[in-house]
Amino acid sequence: MFERCYDSPVANITPIRQRPQALEFFAGIGLARIGLEAAGFKVAWANDYEPDKHAMYAAHFNDGPDHTYVVGDVGKVAAADLPSASLAWASSPCTDLSLAGSRAGLAGKESNAFWLWVNILRDMEERAPEVVVLENVIGLATSHGGEDLRSAIRALNDIGYSIDLLSMDARRFVPQSRPRMFLVGTKNPPAEDERSLASELRPDWAQNFYGDESLRMHRAPLPEPPAFLLEGFGKVVETMPMDDERWWDADRTNAFVRSLSPTQRERVIQLRKSAGVKYRTAYRRTRNGVPVWEVRADDVSGCLRTARGGSSKQAVVRLGNGRLKVRWMTPLEYARLMGAGDFNLSGARNNQALFAFGDAVAVPAVEWLASKYLMPLLNGTLGSATRTEVLASAR
């Protein structure tokens, strides 16, 4: 929905179109908001149930009375209390859907918040936003043999939305491997043409859902997304003196090396011997009941996760010129890997920040989707905008 405003009461003045408003469900620390607002939206309302995340959100945005953040259970949000909006964004809890979670699906204790969100949209009736987006982990596609995703699509179909199903990795924008699923629902789906049928953002597994005649689906024409980054983690590493106390001592570093598999250990030895400084990320996994460290071979971070306990956190490994140093990744590095390097971290506890960023959506992924799809969809220029980009790339 767009509001009109006028600079003066004089007749025949051309109206100025204001930024379309958005609602931000399961907002966390507001990374979706940063991406949406960079694309031209105005986030007027947000909700999350974790006070720690709200504290970081409030410190960063420092909102005035024109923005509302409701802290508490989404099930207690009343549709009548929501402002009118063109878009509803929901990064619903993925704990019961991700590979790191219980895989209980949408019936899980946390992930069933999706149904509460759908109920709110239903209760909004004719005031429901024209476009909705559900962001979640790729695991939703396989949860209970795909039935969870079908149920989610049907639920949105039942309240008037046609669904487009996209898979996008934040690695197209930042040096972090972070694949996520985006369900884009609209009351007014665009017409399909040959350009909308093939997109690398709609992987082969998605065709099972597009081919299901019981679902109301559409494929919007989209420009080609950026290619995957092959490097860049070293550029986001926080500058830190070699004698900083956050670097692990010799005993802990040696224990780290001993936990590596022979292949991993040889990789680390060769990188340590090489000229120049290189950075890699390491992640602790359990293999055959034994915790071990694994070091990535490339200059890209693994997927950031919610850091509750050491097994969820990533380490930074500094190698080269005959030296090896290891430490935990810092909140600033987490923020940079999420495309939010200027986020206000003052006052946030270390684990509070790591958990919040690991539980969020990457800013540039949201901005790309909002600027290339959501905004053109709302203003009726989706097809023409895509054709312009295709022609430009062909020159």
Please state, in angstroms and rounded to a whole number, the distance separating the CA atoms of residues 330 and 336: 10
At residue 267, the pLDDT reads: 94
Give, in order, the Cα–Cα distances in Å from 142 to each of 23, 105, 106: 28, 9, 12
Per-residue pLDDT of the chain (395 residues; tens, 9 = 90+): 433 333 334 444 444 468 999 999 999 999 999 999 999 999 999 999 999 999 999 999 999 999 999 999 999 999 999 999 999 999 976 443 333 343 343 443 444 788 889 999 999 999 999 999 999 988 888 877 888 899 899 999 999 999 999 999 999 999 999 999 999 999 999 987 666 677 899 999 999 999 999 999 999 999 999 999 999 999 999 999 999 999 999 999 999 999 999 999 999 999 999 999 999 999 988 778 888 899 999 999 999 987 654 457 899 999 999 999 999 999 999 999 999 999 999 999 999 999 999 999 999 999 999 999 999 999 999 876 444 444 344 44
Over the Cα atoms of the chain, what is R_g? 23
At residue 100, the pLDDT reads: 39
Look-up: residue for tokens 């960079």? Answer: 38
Please pick, among 43, 82, 87, 94, the residue that the annotation labels catalytic: 94
Adjacent-strand bridge partners of 321: none
- Which of 66, 31, 73, 67 is CA-nearest to residue 50? 73
Angle at 138 between CA 137 and CA 140, to 5 degrees: 80
- CB proximity list for 229: less than 8 A, separation 6 or greater: 171, 172, 173, 174, 175, 300
At residue 195, the pLDDT reads: 63
Note the helical H segments in 174-220: 194-197, 207-210
Q: Where are the domains of the chain?
A: 4-228+361-394, 239-329
- What three-state secondary structure class fits 244? coil
DSSP single-letter state for residue 373? I
> Residue 207 half-sphere exposure, CB side, CA atoms within 13 Å?
7
At residue 46, the pLDDT reads: 98
Note the helical H segments in 125-184: 147-158
At residue 390, the pLDDT reads: 42
94 is catalytic: yes
Please state, in angstroms and rounded to a whole number, the distance separating the CA atoms of residues 51 and 61: 15
At residue 246, the pLDDT reads: 97
At residue 289, the pLDDT reads: 81
Please state, in angstroms and rounded to a whole number, the distance separating the CA atoms of residues 5 and 17: 7
- The domain over range 4-228+361-394 is classified in CATH as 3.40.50.720: no
At residue 112, the pLDDT reads: 74
